Every structure is written in structure tokens, then in C-alpha cells.
Amino acid sequence: MRKHLFSTFTGIGLLLALLIIYIMGTTAMADMKINQQAEKDDMLLSIAEARRSTRQYTDEPIASEIINKILTVAMLAPSSYGQNPVEFVVVTDKAKLAKLAACKRIGAPSVRQSAASVVVMVDTSKGELWAEDGSVAATYLLLAAEHYGIGACWNQIRLRDGRKKSASREICELLGVPSRYEVVCVVALGYPKEKLPPHKKESLDKGRLHFDFY
């Protein structure tokens, strides 16, 4: 009888121990998922806070794998009616970077100094919202560059004068781009000489936010 009771209590104790282990494990897994989700939630915010326009770069070249990763993100940007009219030309040759910078009458020093510059252009035959599509893709490119530790600077080309024609037309002629394309901007890329302090969400003017009405 005592032996039977002992076996019963032992079995119950074992079951309780297993139940406690299961509950602890389940709780730990839930906490881990919450922590992982929190990290994901904060990741994009951290990138947006850290991203600053960088205009001065070191002489270190950017590996082609990094450039390809940045461009892959940019190509995933949404476009009007899913037309995907945005295309990119990557320029790394120093002599051509100097010519590219000179296509803008007021100049583009960050392009001239960059390790690589990305011409963001749009096929205007694919829709009237080409400026918006190019701007969205360029924004993705800027955030991707920050994620991979690359400094970047947007150089406005649309509606800017060149030496003799519009800056967009002069860039298209320099790079052999068909006339139906327009250049929105040129994004200069390079490893920053100096890392600027990040923006802080606490400094944002919440008065700029409006819900349901102004």
C-alpha cells in the first residue's frame, strides 16, 4: 500500500514538474517573441533616426555586393499602378562622377566626392506620376544605405538647370539614356568621414500630426 502511494505521489510530482517546465518554457518563448517583435518595431525607427545627409566621404570604395543590396531595396519600392518605371544608373568612375556633378549648374560636390552615385531616373512613358515614383524609390535607397553603414546624400535634379539644358537632359546625354527618361535625383554614396549625431524622436514637433481633421 505504502509502495503504491509512493509511486502515485512520485508520478504526480513528475507530472507537476513537467507541467511547470512546460509553462516556464512557453512563457520564455512568448517573452522571446515579444522581445524579437520589439526589436523589429524599433529597427526602422532607429534607421530613420540615424540617417543624415552625408556630403563628405572617405576614399574607401563600396563593395559591389553592398551596392547591389542597396539597389535591391530601392527596386522593391512601390510605384503607381505597379508599373515599376524607375531605373538606376550606378556611376563609380571618378572622371565620370566629376562630369555627372557638373551637369547641375550649381554643382553637386557630394557626387564629385562620392565613392559611387546612383542616378534615379524614370521612364515617363509608363505614367504621369513619374516624379512621385522616383522619389519613393530614392527614399528607399537612402534608408537602405543607412542600414548598410553607407553615407548618402540626395542631389535634386528634377526642375534644376544644367550648363546649357536642364540638368536631367544633360545627365541623360552623358549616360546615353533615351529621351523618354527624366532624372529625379542623384544619390551620392560613400563611407562618411564623420558620423553625424542621429535625430531623436523626442525632438519631433507633434503639432505636425493631425487625425481626422486639421
CATH classification of the domain holding 132? 3.40.109.10
The pLDDT value given to residue 193: 95
The pLDDT value given to residue 64: 97
**Position 133 in a domain:** yes
Task: Check whether residue 185 and residue 101 sit in a common domain.
Answer: yes
Task: Check whether residue 4 and residue 96 sit in a common domain.
Answer: no
**Position 207 in a domain:** no
Task: Check whether residue 110 and residue 168 sit in a common domain.
Answer: yes
In the Cβ-directed half-sphere of 81, how many Cα atoms lie within 13 Å?
7
**Position 18 in a domain:** yes
3-state DSSP: the chain helix, strand, coil percent, rounded to 5?
Answer: 55, 15, 30
Instruction: Give the total number of structural domains in the chain.
Output: 2
Extract the C-alpha cell encoding 186.
Answer: 542623384
The residue-averaged pLDDT of 21-29 equals: 73
Q: What angle do CA 95, 100, 102 make, to 5 degrees?
A: 100
Task: Check whether residue 13 and residue 108 sit in a common domain.
Answer: no
Least confident of 34-48, 66-80, 117-131: 34-48
Q: Write the pLDDT tens digit of every residue in 36-68.
A: 665 667 899 999 999 999 999 999 999 999 999
By CB neighbour count within 10 A (0-12 exposed, 13-18 middle, 19+ buried), where does 7 fall? exposed
**Position 103 in a domain:** yes
The pLDDT value given to residue 83: 96
Owning domain of residue 70? 64-190
